[in-house]
Structure 1
Amino acid sequence: MPMPTEERVSQLVAGLVERRGFDLEDVAITAAGRSQTRVKIVVDNDSGVDLDEIAALSFEVSEVFDEAEDFGETEYLLEVTTPGIDRPLTAPRHWRRARGRKVQVTLRSGAPTPENSDRFDARVGAATETEVALVLGGKRKPHRVTVPLADIDRAVVQVEFSPPGAAEMELAGGVAPGRPEPGATEAQESVAASTEGIVE
């Protein structure tokens, strides 16, 4: 029996994820060898996620899979994780959680360009449901502008290998609660727990 679709897996886990206080960010199903399937569930919340919370959620998701008849006897590897550092920012909550992070922004065609270019790097400041403050100029000449979220075509968090400047971080309003400081260790930010099993 084939694995259920990503949409079906989302339906199976959405209520549990929400009750645990998380947002379900993504579900991906891929082959993991000849006879095994990988089910990856990506979750996040505004206060950050630790390994114990992820492990508990992974256990509960496994129980949901065990009870579902959709899986038959399919062997699977379940991975419950948080978004990686290079995640795109596509919703207002993503911008809130990325405060203090460096992002590469691409504006939609025709949008006003604060840096005389429709593609630029900036540090994320405070965000609302409709707009975001961006700190431009880097360490040397930091200054803040406000950009409507509707004007942003794409934005991706960038990996940083050195700490940002104090002035740009002050303009950004610091790092969002529960998130690590930008710098050399942030490439390891994602938190994950894995479970293997055969659903019977």
Structure 2
Amino acid sequence: MTTTQNDRLQVLLEPLAATAGVDLEAVTLSKVGGSRVLDVVVDADGGIDLDLVADLSRAFGEALDSPEGTAVLGESEYRLEVGSPGVDRLLTLPRHWRRARTRLVKAQLGTGAEVVGRVLEADDEGVLLEIPPVKGRGKATERRLEFAGIAKARVQVEFNRKGDDAEPADEDITDVEDADGVDDADGTGDDAEA
């Protein structure tokens, strides 16, 4: 089996991700325009926040600029992008399903059938889904799917999700810190007096 450059980069960065308590989901070096872009995707139970992304970016950058990193990545310039998986990520591992708890997913089964339901729980072998009633009639049912029988699955985007288990909406930012480190009371970023 041939080891690719992306595989070697994954091996270099994986210990740093593990130390930070996150899973290294993907490492992809690609060419965008005339630039090389190294896209590193990390995830963790409870999600990833911006402070953690910044810390990981620094740690990954130091490792990539070290002699070991240069041996894998080469001397050419690159742009490092660190982030969490988007909603278009396929659910391929039990931890992906566990992290999708309460989310609506669409699963294509190996039989060709399609199932849409909300993730109630997941273990190492499969997932329990709550299947909504057809056209709003009847009651929701539960269905267990074994991972071996799922060909492809993805989280569905819900714009108007309601209910007790709905995720909170993004909070508005009301306190903005200017480049001078002084909080602007009005949140406009303009700390000059009128």
Q: Normalising to structure 2: TM-score of the pair?
A: 0.76
Once residues 48 and 24 of structure 1 are traced to their aligned partners in structure 2, the CA distance between those partners, rounded to angstroms, is 13
What is the CA–CA distance in structure 1 between the aligned matches of 2:106 and 2:19, rounded to whole Å?
Answer: 33
Which residue is equivalent to 2:76?
74
2:177 matched residue in structure 1: none
Output the CA distance in 2 between the equivalents of 1:60 and 1:96.
27
Tell me if 1:136 matches 2:138. Answer: no
Tell me which stretches of 4 or more aligned residues in structure 1 moved more than 6 Å: none
**Partner amino acid for 1:96?**
R
**Aligned residues between the structures:** 161
Q: Secondary structure at the match of 1:144?
A: strand
1:23 corresponds in structure 2 to 23
**Who is 1:191 aligned against?**
none
C-alpha distance after superposition, 1:45-87 (max 9, x if no partner): 1121100001100000000011023234311010011000121
Question: What is the aligned partner in structure 1 of residue 47 from structure 2?
Answer: 48
Cα drift, residue 6 of structure 1: 0.5
Deviations 1:136-155 (A, max 9, x none): 12593322121212111110
C-alpha RMSD of the superposition: 2.1
Gaps of 5+ in 1: 110-116, 176-180, 186-200
Please, which moves more after superposition, 11-20 or 138-147? Answer: 138-147
1:149–1:86 CA distance, 2 compared to 1 (3 A): same
**Paired letter, 1:6:** N
TM-score by length of 1: 0.74
CA distance in 2, matches of 1:131, 1:63: 39
1:28-107 alignment runs, 5 A limit: 28-34=28-34, 36-67=35-66, 68-70=69-71, 71-107=73-109
In structure 1, C-alpha distance between the alignment counterparts of 2:70 and 2:153, rounded to whole Å: 39
- Report the counterpart of residue 121 of structure 2 in structure 1: 126
**1:102–1:157: 8 Å Cα contact kept in structure 2?**
yes
C-alpha contact (below 8 Å) 1:103/1:123 kept by paired residues: yes
Larger RCO (alpha carbons 8 Å, 6+ apart): 1
Q: Deviations over 1:137-182 (max 9, x none)?
A: 2593322121212111110111111114x3xx7xxxx47xxxxx18
Whether the aligned pair in 2 keeps the contact of 1:86 and 1:159 (CA below 8 Å) is no
Aligned residue for 2:78, secondary structure, equals strand
- Aligned ranges for residues 102-181 of structure 1 at < 5 Å? 102-109=104-111, 118-137=113-132, 140=136, 141-164=139-162, 166=163, 174=165, 181=167
